Amino acid sequence: MRALRARMRPAAWAVALAALVVAGCERSAARSGGASAPPAAQAEAAIEVQTARVQRGTVPAVVSAPASLLARRESHIGTEVAGPIQQVFVAEGDRVEGGAPLFQIDPVPYEMALRAAQAGYDVAAAERRQIASDLQRAQTLRRQDVVSAQDLDRLTTQLAVAEARERQAEEAVGLARTNLERTTVRAPYAGSVARRLADEGTTALVQPQTIVIVLQETGELEAHAAIPESQLALVQVGDRAVLHVEGLPAPIEATVSAVSDTIDAETRTYLVRISVPNPNWTLKAGIFAPVEIHPHQRADALLVPVEAVRSEDGRTRVMVVRDGVAEAVPVEVGLSTETVVEVLRGLAEGDEVLIGRAARTIAPGMRVRAAGAPAPAA
């Protein structure tokens, strides 16, 4: 070997050494099966995730909530004039028509006040007529230069004052007559007497007002239901509602009459009012009645699973798989149920969206593949 090295020139020796190194690498590769180090682009492995396809369908919405039946209106009725209560015409549980008398304040003082006001009006009217007659005569004498212009002006002023006093007296008569009418307190609408709080002999006061009767309008009731804010876009005015009242053989069909625009900060619910007919007074205000609201179902809607939708910083989005990469897509949602959400804008039928834990943890730009799909070739 030494002899061979001595006979070879330095350049030839370098070439021979390189050939030995290459041959050694080839033998090492052959022993390892021919595999080579992966390129940097293949170093990032795709994460296996759960996905679902955007599909078209009908939103199967039914909203269930506890509700209480309340009177459509409730009035605490007192008196607008003071005096002893002479008679109460109704008892608790009575049903009355609009305008029916409820109770009577002693009218005698108000009858006397009306007569006095009428007498004051008669005096004022007589004075006005007298001054008007005097003025008419003075105008005739003035043309004959018997009465001075100053006297004529004085009578004209006196007539204007007398006319004002007559109008004032007329208003006093009207007020006295109104007060007399107010001694009989009448029902403002047809309803049921919920409570009777005073009896004959009680002195009714105006300030603070003495409440005598509590009247409820029960010919039609209202069911008040608290709906979770997660179903904010679901319930609309006019939706069909079904109430289940214990003790009644069949549920009651009703209609949503109002939907509140305010969310309760403590319960995170909003109020829905439902008009409930009660023509036979079978239902009683204050009873509990679970309600099922059936919103107008929307057919041919784009639907995604609820778990695919994320709301952050006031924006709603879903994670869509495109070319093996997760992409955040803003969406506008409509109706929702416990399982699906209607997508109004942002997605198309057949789009693949992330669901499950991946929908909450995968960041935009990460490489992903659907669970069960084959891994990409090396």
For residues 341-376, b (16+ Cβ closer than 10 Å) or e, as one string?
bbbeebbeeebbbbbeebbeebeeebebbeeeeeee
Listed in order, strand segments (DSSP E) in 83-158 are 83-88, 95-96, 101-105
Q: What is the pTM of this model?
A: 0.60
Contacts of 143 (CB under 8 A, 6+ apart): none
Residues 353, 333: contact at Cβ < 8 Å?
no
**Degrees (nearest 5) of the Cα angle 7, 14, 31?**
115
SS3 content of the chain, % helix, strand, coil (to 5): 30, 35, 35
pLDDT digits (tens), the chain, 378 positions: 444 444 444 444 444 444 444 444 444 444 444 444 444 444 468 899 999 999 998 876 688 899 999 998 999 999 999 999 999 999 999 999 999 999 999 999 999 999 999 999 999 999 999 999 999 888 888 888 888 888 888 999 999 999 999 999 999 999 999 999 999 999 999 999 999 999 999 999 998 899 999 999 988 899 999 998 877 777 889 999 999 998 888 899 999 999 998 999 999 899 999 999 888 888 888 899 999 998 877 778 899 999 999 887 778 999 999 999 999 999 998 777 778 888 989 999 999 999 988 888 989 999 998 886 555 544
- Tell me the domains of the chain and their CATH numbers: 49-59+299-370 (2.40.420.20), 64-72+217-294 (2.40.30.170), 107-182 (1.10.287)
- Distance, in Å, from the CA atom of 66 to the CA atom of 291, rounded to the nearest integer, reads 6
